[in-house]
Amino acid sequence: MIDWTTATCEEVLTMVGSIYLRCGEPAVMQVKHRGRDEGPYVMCRECGEHNARNRNAVVLARKALPKVDVISYEIAEHLMPEVYALLSRLEKQS
């Protein structure tokens, strides 16, 4: 099981001498390259999508994203009057 709270991207960005420099961004997916014996690796969204598109990798797992609740205009009016006023003005202009 992957601990997504501490997992960082394992993609190698470059080499300096004989040292590999990893991406290190927060990992959000696990990928495995087809036809290779190594891996699977955890990667950030950008590195994982690049590997899936360009390096014959398969996404094995993704980090579950939190649900986002949409705040209605009525709730926004009470919680954030300035934001509600701005949204109302922008809506009238369009």
Q: What is the domain partition of the chain in residue ranges? A: 12-62, 67-94
Give, for all 94 residues of the chain, the pLDDT tens digit: 788 889 999 999 888 899 999 999 999 999 999 999 988 999 999 999 999 999 999 999 988 766 555 555 566 566 667 776 777 777 777 5
- Please tell me the predicted confidence (pLDDT) of residue 33: 94
Three-state SS for 1-43 is: CCCCCCCECCCEEEEECCEEEECCCECCEEEEECCCCCCCEEE
Whole-model pTM: value is 0.63
- Please tell me the predicted confidence (pLDDT) of residue 94: 58
